[in-house]
């Protein structure tokens, strides 16, 4: 996963328009599960379960630049167009000191 400036549109690498996800936007899959989108990657977007996001958890899904949603590199039945924008915006997790 390469990092890039977050000002780049999610669909920048595609030849046909793809839905643009918001950095820290909260989205819902048709099954009701909610995810925080991290769009600062050049080659797609990480989707973190809302509960995992707050504790620096791992991304559960990856949204590729062509609109597919992948789980561990394997396409799922969902596409980016299936995500419902809840209108909510997450915040970056608070730093933790050890």
Contacts 24+ apart (CB under 8 A), 46-50: 46/1, 50/26, 50/90
**Residue 4 pLDDT grade (very low, low, confident, very high; cuts 50, 70, 90):** very low
**Residue 79 pLDDT grade (very low, low, confident, very high; cuts 50, 70, 90):** very high
**Residue 98 pLDDT grade (very low, low, confident, very high; cuts 50, 70, 90):** low
pLDDT digits (tens, 9 = 90+) for 46-60: 999 999 998 888 999
């Amino acid at each position: 996963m390469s990092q890039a400036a977050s000002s780049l549109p999610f669909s920048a690498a595609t030849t046909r328009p793809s839905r643009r996800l918001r950095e820290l936007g909260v989205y819902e899959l048709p099954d009701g599960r909610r995810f925080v989108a991290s769009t600062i990657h050049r080659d797609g977007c990480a989707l973190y379960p809302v509960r995992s996001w707050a504790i620096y958890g791992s991304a559960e899904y990856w949204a590729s630049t062509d609109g597919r949603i992948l789980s561990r590199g394997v396409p799922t039945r969902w596409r980016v167009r299936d995500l419902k924008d809840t209108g909510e915006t997450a915040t970056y997790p608070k730093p933790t000191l050890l």
